[in-house]
Structure 1
Amino acid sequence: MPARLSKRTIDAILHGALPAIVYDAELKGFGVRVAASGSLSWFVEYRPGAGGRRMSKKRFYFGSREFTPEQARQTAKELLASVALGSDPMADRQRDRQSLTFREFAERYLSEEAEAKLKPGTVANYRIAIRKHANPEIGRIKLDTISNSDLSRLHSKIGKTKPMTANRVMECISSIFRYAATCNIVPVGHNPTKGIRAFRENRRERFLNSEELARLGEAIREAETDGTPYDIDESKPAAKHAPKPQNRRVKIDAYTAAALRLLILTGARLREILHLKWQYIDFERGLLLLPDSKTGRKAIILNTPAVLILQGLERTGEYVIASERDDRPRADLNRPWRTISKRAQLPGVRIHDLRHTHASVGAGAGLSLPIIGKLLGHTQPSTTQRYAHLASDPLQKASNEIANALVTQMGDSFVSCKAPPRPLKKTAV
Structure 2
Amino acid sequence: MSKYKSIGGKYKGIEIYKKLSGAISYYIRYKDLENKTKREKVGESPTMTKTKALEILRQKQSELNTLRRHLHSGDINNYLLERSRASDSLRLTINDLAVMYLKDKANTKDFPSTKSRYHIHIESEKISNKPIMLITNEDIKKFIQNKKDTYSVRNGMQRKRDRKGKWLETKSEYESRQNKLTNTTINAIYGLMITIVNHGTQEEYYIGRNPFHSKFRLPTDNIKLKYLSDEETSLFLRQLKWQSESFEIIDKYVYLIGLLAVTTGARMRTILYLRAGDVDLDNGVIHLCNFKVNEQWYESAIATDEIRELLQKFSKGRGPNDHLFVSNRTGKQIYRYPRVMNKILELTVNWHRQEENRMTLRDLRNSLASNLARKGISLSHIAKVLNHKSIASTARYAQLGSEVAIEAIRDYAKRLNV
> TM-score, structure 1 length as denominator?
0.64
**Residue-pair matches, total:** 352
For residues 310 and 141 of structure 2, what CA distance do their matches in structure 1 show? 50
SS at match of 1:120: coil
**1:144-293 to 2 correspondences below 5 Å:** 144=133, 146-161=135-150, 162=181, 163-183=183-203, 190-194=209-213, 196-202=215-221, 206-224=226-244, 253-290=251-288, 293=291
The structure-2 alpha-carbon separation of the partners of 1:54 and 1:182, relative to structure 1 and needing over 3 Å to count, comes to same
Contact 1:363 1:387 in 2 (8 A): yes
> Pick from 12, 18, 28: which aligns with 1:45?
28
Per-residue Cα deviation, 1:276-319 (whole angstroms, up to 9, x for no partner): 22111111222222456343132231234133442455736443
Q: Relative to structure 2, which stretch is displaced further, 23-32 or 268-277?
A: 23-32
Distance 1:255 1:283 in 2: 18
Cross-structure match for 2:97 = 105
- Secondary structure of 1:289's counterpart equals strand
Residues 263 and 368, structure 2, Cα contact 8 Å, conserved in 1: yes
Give yes or no for contact 1:158–1:165 (8 Å, CA) kept in 2. Answer: no
Partner of 2:170: none
Q: Determine if contact 2:223/2:396 at 8 Å carries over to the other structure.
A: no
Aligned-partner Cα distance in 2 for 1:156–1:78: 48
Matched position secondary structure for 1:45: strand
Q: Structure 1: how far apart are the matches of 2:103 and 2:222?
A: 32
Give the 5 Å matches for 1:22-37: none
Match in the other structure for 1:420: none
8 Å contact from structure 2 (residues 288, 300) kept in 1: no
Whether the 8 Å contact between 2:6 and 2:12 is mirrored in structure 1 is yes
Distance across 2 between alignment mates of 1:332 and 1:326: 14
- 1:120 alignment partner, one of 73, 89, 109: 109
Matching of residues 392-407 of structure 1 within 5 Å:
392-404=402-414, 407=416
Residue 122 of structure 1 and its aligned partner are, at CA, apart by 5.6
In the other structure, the counterpart of 1:364 is 374
Q: In the aligned structure 1, how far is the partner of 2:218 from the partner of 2:111? A: 20
Post-superposition CA distance 1:3-39 (Å, at most 9, x none): xxxxxxxxxxxxxxxxxx85685976556899xxxxx
Report the 3-state secondary structure (helix = DSSP H, G, I; strand = E; otherwise coil) of the residue aligned with 1:391.
helix
Distance across 2 between alignment mates of 1:153 and 1:24: 54
Q: Is 2:97–2:197's contact at 8 Å kept on the other side of the alignment?
A: no
Distance 2:84 2:100 in 1: 21
Residue 209 (structure 1) shift: 1.4
Give, in whole Å, the separation in 2 of the partners of 1:130 and 1:150.
Answer: 19
Alpha-carbon distance between aligned partners in 2 of 1:75 and 1:153, rounded to the nearest angstrom: 43
Counterparts of 2:234 and 2:106, CA distance in 1: 43
Q: Cα offset for 1:375?
A: 1.0
- SS of the equivalent of 2:333 reads coil
Is the CA contact 1:106–1:130 (under 8 Å) kept in the aligned structure 2? no
| In structure 1, C-alpha distance between the alignment counterparts of 2:119 and 2:27, rounded to whole Å | 41
Change (3 A) 1:391 1:196: closer
Q: Counterparts of 2:24 and 2:106 in 1: how far apart (Å)?
A: 47
The structure with more radius of gyration: 1
How far the C-alpha of 1:333 sits from its partner, in A, is 3.3
Q: Which runs of 5+ in 1 are unaligned?
A: 3-20, 35-39, 228-249, 412-429
Alignment match of 1:321 (pick from 318, 322, 325): 325
* SS of alignment partner, residue 300 of structure 1: strand
After superposition, give the CA deviation of every residue in 1:242-290 in whole Å (9 maximum; x if it has no partner).
Answer: xxxxxxxx99754322221222122122232233221111112222224
Contact 1:276/1:320, CA 8 A, preserved across alignment: yes
Task: Flag the 1:158–1:78 CA change in 2: closer, same or farther, 3 A.
Answer: farther
When residues 308 and 214 of structure 1 are mapped into structure 2, their CA distance, relative to the original with a 3 A threshold, is same
Secondary structure of 2:147 counterpart: helix
By how many angstroms is 1:371 displaced? Answer: 1.1
Per-residue displacement from partner, 1:91-112 (whole Å, max 9, x unpaired)?
A: 9996654446134333334444
The one-letter code matched in structure 1 to 2:308 is V
1:203-251: per-residue Cα shift (whole Å, max 9, x none)?
5953111232232233234434568xxxxxxxxxxxxxxxxxxxxxx99
Q: Gaps (5+ residues) in structure 2?
A: 68-79, 151-180, 352-357
Question: Which SS does the other structure have where 1:320 is aligned?
Answer: coil
Provide, for residues 154-192 of structure 1, a one-character-per-residue CA deviation record: whole Å limited to 9, x for no partner.
Answer: 44443443454543343223233434444556668x432
Please tell me whether the aligned partners of residues 266 and 300 of structure 1 are also in contact (alpha carbons under 8 angstroms).
no
Alpha-carbon separation, structure 2, partners of 1:94 and 1:330? 42
Contact 1:275 1:329 in 2 (8 A): yes
Q: Distance in 1 between matches of 2:126 and 2:39?
A: 35
Tell me the distance in 2 between the aligned counterparts of 1:42 and 1:76.
12
Aligned with 1:72 (options 32, 48, 67) = 48
Alignment equivalent of 1:129, drawn from 104, 118, 138: 118
CA contact (8 A) 1:43 1:76 kept: no
Give how far 1:57 is off: 6.9
Mapped contact 1:372–1:384 kept (Cα < 8 A): yes
CA positional deviation for 1:58: 6.9
Q: Which residue of 2 aligns with 1:299?
A: 298
**1:233 alignment partner in structure 2:** none
Name the TM-score, length of structure 2 as normaliser: 0.65
Question: Contact conserved, 2:13 with 2:30, CA < 8 A, in 1?
Answer: no
Any conservation in 2 of the 1:30–1:73 contact (CA below 8 Å)? no
The equivalent residue for 1:37 is: none
**How large is the RMSD of aligned CA atoms in angstroms?**
4.6
Shift of 1:395: 0.9
Offset from partner CA, 1:300-341 (integer Å, 9 cap, x none): 312341334424557364433354158412343333213422
Please, which moves more after superposition, 190-199 or 217-226? 217-226
1:31 to 1:297, Cα distance in 2 relative to 1, 3 A:
same
After TM superposition, the structure 1 = structure 2 runs for residues 330-341 of structure 1, keeping only pairs within 5 Å, are 330-341=334-345
Q: What SS is found at the alignment partner of 2:299?
A: strand
